[in-house]
Amino acid sequence: MTNTNAPLVVKNKVLTGISGGEFGVRGFLAAYDINTGELAWKGYSIGPDKDTLIDPKKTSTWKDGKVTPVGANSSTSTWEGDQWKIGGGTTWGWTSYDPKLNLIYYGSGNPSTWNPVQRPGDNKWSMSLWARDADTGAVKWVYQMTPHDEWDFDGINETVLVDQEVKGKMHKTIVHFDRNGFGYTLDRETGELLVAEKFDKSVNWATHVDMKTGRPEVVAKYSTQQNGEDVNTTGVCPAALGSKNQQPVSYSPQTGLFYISGNHLCMDYEPFEVAYTAGQPYVGATLTMMPAGADVLTGKPDNTTNLGQFTAFDAKTGKIAWSNKETFSVWSGSVATAGGVVFYGTLEGYLKAVDAKTGKELYKFKTPSGIIGNVNTWEFNGKQYVGVLSGIGGWAGIGIAAGLDSGEAGSNSEGLGAVGAYRSLSSFTKLGGVLTVFALPSN
């Protein structure tokens, strides 16, 4: 197995997950004793209740408009036979911790394979948000965002813990912007679903999330399951890299807004039958990607060619406050400051500063390479600094970073579809790795 996530230390335990959903592994989160390295507990994403650490009577989920016990065999009953043993649901993202509730939160990734026809059922608990007891790993609640994923909308993006008022009531909330294009706000203590709205209106694979069932209403035209194997389903939005990928959001208590580094692409997706061989890729789909060509605020076609958006979103109401177009995906994390400024980086290599309330661009600086790192700010000797690492890479930059682009149409589907969409990026930036630091003025 492989691992790309950063571990989290909680009390006397260190928590870590695994990656490798495209190799037919079974995802889990593990806790190790920080002094001895001994395994304290391990909770799988998929499998029997004893493996997932789910209590059928105590663990809850959102169903029929209320928080309700998941019941026995909530995972295995949604898989055919023993497919769950190679079912994916990896945990390669981030883990958050609430010390007062003593709960840890994270998301699980895509089911294996990418061909949905080969794995009937909801494939629980892939594509889910989890709340576990930090000491024992016991699952408090779990919520599946994309049942029976058909598009590789990994659910591993970060979970932000914010106390805020939703519909006239204060909640300890968890906020998550998923690759599937929906922003979710849940009560992090109970798992109650409070808000589920698109943060990019070009998203078309589902019309909305039914707030009673918690399930997305899938549009048949864009269902790779319904269209079947060896059929190219065209114009699915977002593309597999999501309306937002691994790049973390920022939050400003001053504005009450979340700032989302986003992608603005659609894709053609053709699933095909694939056999499982241990240690070999277990994907089963061919993808190409293209600009969404629709307005992020309305979803109406506008023939635009931008591949990225930087968006301010109110997670209390599910409304977009403002959104700025970017030529390429915004693959950097952002940082919101008490000075009312939000910083983020672009794939061309610009560090940008925008007004937190309006999105107006205030400053930009061209770094030597594309920015996929997360912007940071700190204070030293009474002076504030902003720093960012530049160096093109990631899924969007894989054509340049891994040399996959031949320049011909035949390589468009390389990099799981990213090479063709980002071909022109090489005209705007180049390989390199540099830390650029800015000193903010004193006044």
As annotated, the active-site residues are 152
Strands of 26-65, DSSP E:
28-33, 39-44, 60-63
Structure-derived torsion over alpha carbons of residues 327, 329, 333, 335, reported in degrees to the nearest 10:
30
CA–centroid distance for 148 within its chain: 17
Cβ 265 vs Cβ 289: under 8 Å: yes
Count of C-beta atoms within a 10 Å radius of residue 54: 29
DSSP string, 371-439: --SBPEEEEETTEEEEEEEE---TTTTHHHHTT---SSGGGTTTTTTHHHHTGGGGGT-----EEEEEE
CB 242 within 8 A of CB 236: no
User: How far is Cα 79 from Cα 86, in angstroms, rounded to an integer?
Assistant: 11
Alpha-carbon Rg for the chain, nearest whole angstrom, is: 21
Category of 15 on φ-ψ map: left (φ > 0), alpha (ψ -120 to 50) or beta = beta
User: In this structure, how many other beta carbons lie within 10 angstroms of the beta carbon of residue 210?
Assistant: 14
Provide CB contacts within 8 A for 355, sequence distance 6+: 340, 341, 342, 362
Phi and psi, residue 243, nearest 5°: -65, -20
Tell me the residue length of the chain. 443
